[in-house]
Structure 1
Amino acid sequence: MVKALVITPVKNAIETTLDTAKAISESNIEVKHIIFNDFSSPETREGLELNQAKFGYDLINLEDFVQKPSPNYDYVLKKGQALALEEKLPLIIVESDVVVKKDTLSSLLTFMENNKGCGMIGAITVDEKGKTNFPYLKFKNEKKQVIQTERSLSFCCTLITTDFLAAYDFNSLERGKDWFDTTISKMSINLGFENFVLNNVPVWHRPHGSRPWKQLKYTNPIKYYWQKFILGRDKI
């Protein structure tokens, strides 16, 4: 029995994406996994199509449906919300630079079931050595296993509950933005829900693996900030 709808937005980065898909396919619960290919290269599209049966995900190539160039995270979220509500399932976002464990998704669901009033539940992100890393460095010294927070949750690996999905229509998201973690996190709180980060549910995160151009922040910061501010990329 399918327990959740899992969505993964993809822009190239085929190797990390397949790591993500493999890990989700090995989860200890059954989920429906959809990869949204956001105008990736022909090589990435081919790789996603070739591995679809192997890892059991559905594939939606956005270039077949939308005109707007990537990023199209708003479209992915709206489609994910509509499908989750239709199936009466919670929505879990697992980005393509994240590797979950066998019990990650079931742990998020168990927490949701045991804690009514949740809006969003995030898994803590760690590096290959198990140390808390971006974007949850703000919690690196936190000892609590369960962190209730009004700070923004990342979509790296985050469950959005059916109650919150029913209360907030993603069609109202501002189309001029590229990313919506902060907007949706704040709306969850504004609507009276509680947001949590689970310090005892770690996922391996390779920062910006899903958006390789952002590595320029560390290797060529001038070029990074040129793209961010002059070209208007990465609008939050």
Structure 2
Amino acid sequence: MPKPLHIITPVKDSYETTTGSIRAIMESDLPASCSYTVYNDFSTAGNKKLLEEMAGEFNFGLVHLEELTINPSPNYRLILQLAQKKALEAGADLMIVESDVCVKPDTILKMHTACSGLHKPGMVAAVTVDESGAINFPYLYASSYPSSTIKTRKRLSFCCSILSNSLLSAYDFERLDPEKSWFDVYISHKSLKLGFKNYLMTELPVLHRPHSSRPWKQLKYSQPWKYYLQKILKQRDKI
């Protein structure tokens, strides 16, 4: 039987895509025992107000990280620690749907049901696609994969993924490196080292508009020299 599910979305401005992501989640077929929290990672005052209005409309949890830390965005480590604590207290799996991802009505329920039937799942992720339906970053390596649920040793992304309760119980996110900004690559590899299996669901694609909340990261594709210069000089994007 599937465990309860706790869903989170980290948010940093990009209100248009964030709104689409939140609405898609709230209008989805959700498991019977399910909770949803949005973590506002220092969005502007205007976007903070809009998130509060959405939380009132849809009745989801909203955490303003500015009330918990003075550390500037990104605060993914803190978000993961807070979400892990909440999921473990509820005996739940943890699902991350990032604010630049739009799920289909059946995505969440199908992923959660699949997770409960897989062998020793650590991470289970949905493949991402662009508006034309072509697999895009960060799963370009899966472009030739068949439509299936595939056990993989390649890195998985947090774009749309489930971290099993067993994985959450086996590794304390308090141990995550505070000098890093992003943790999906590390945790997907850590899952394997702990003896879990990771799975990529290529039959369940979700729309992904990469880096919409952090436009400077688009330079990685259009002007890579400028992206890497900013990465070095401003100590950004550490994984």
SS in 2 for 1:147: strand
- Pairs within 5 Å for 1:128-167: 128-167=131-170
TM-score, normalised via structure 2 length: 0.95
> Kindly, what percent of the aligned residue pairs are identical?
45
Amino acid at match of 2:28: S
Q: For 1:179 and 1:116, locate their aligned partners in 2 and report how far apart those are by CA, in whole Å.
A: 27
Q: Partner residue of 1:18?
A: 19
Q: Partner residue of 1:109?
A: 112
- Contact conserved, 2:27 with 2:105, CA < 8 A, in 1? yes
- Contact conserved, 2:4 with 2:90, CA < 8 A, in 1? no
Give CA-to-partner distance per residue, 1:49-85, whole Å, 9 cap, x none.
1111223321100001112111100000000000000
- Pairs within 5 Å for 1:42-191: 42-191=45-194
- Contact conserved, 2:4 with 2:91, CA < 8 A, in 1? no
Amino acid at match of 2:173: F
SS in 1 for 2:137: coil
SS in 1 for 2:7: strand
Task: Count how many residue pairs are aligned between Structure 1 and Structure 2.
Answer: 236
1:34 to partner: Cα distance: 0.7
Q: Which structure 1 residue ranges, 5 or more long, are not aligned?
A: none
Q: Is 2:10 aligned against 1:6?
A: no
1:219 to partner: Cα distance: 4.0
1:146 to partner: Cα distance: 1.5
- Pairs within 5 Å for 1:29-44: 29-30=30-31, 31-44=34-47
Moved over 6 A (4+): none
Q: For 2:75 and 2:150, locate their aligned partners in 1 and report how far apart those are by CA, in whole Å.
A: 30
Amino acid at match of 1:224: Y
TM-score, normalised via structure 1 length: 0.96
Q: Is 2:217 aligned against 1:217?
A: no
1:144 to partner: Cα distance: 4.5
SS in 2 for 1:51: helix
Q: For 1:57 and 1:212, locate their aligned partners in 2 and report how far apart those are by CA, in whole Å.
A: 27
1:224 to partner: Cα distance: 1.9
Amino acid at match of 1:218: Y
SS in 2 for 1:123: strand
Q: For 1:3 and 1:212, locate their aligned partners in 2 and report how far apart those are by CA, in whole Å.
A: 35
- Contact conserved, 2:119 with 2:197, CA < 8 A, in 1? no
Q: Which structure 2 residue ranges, 5 or more long, are not aligned?
A: none
1:127 to partner: Cα distance: 0.8
Amino acid at match of 1:20: S
- Pairs within 5 Å for 1:188-207: 188-207=191-210
Q: For 1:93 and 1:170, locate their aligned partners in 2 and report how far apart those are by CA, in whole Å.
A: 15
Q: For 1:228 and 1:182, locate their aligned partners in 2 and report how far apart those are by CA, in whole Å.
A: 17
1:143 to partner: Cα distance: 1.4
Q: For 1:128 and 1:19, locate their aligned partners in 2 and report how far apart those are by CA, in whole Å.
A: 14
RMSD: 1.5
1:210 to partner: Cα distance: 2.8
- Contact conserved, 1:3 with 1:29, CA < 8 A, in 2? no
Q: For 1:86 and 1:39, locate their aligned partners in 2 and report how far apart those are by CA, in whole Å.
A: 26
- Contact conserved, 1:4 with 1:32, CA < 8 A, in 2? yes
- Contact conserved, 1:95 with 1:155, CA < 8 A, in 2? yes
Q: For 1:74 and 1:172, locate their aligned partners in 2 and report how far apart those are by CA, in whole Å.
A: 10
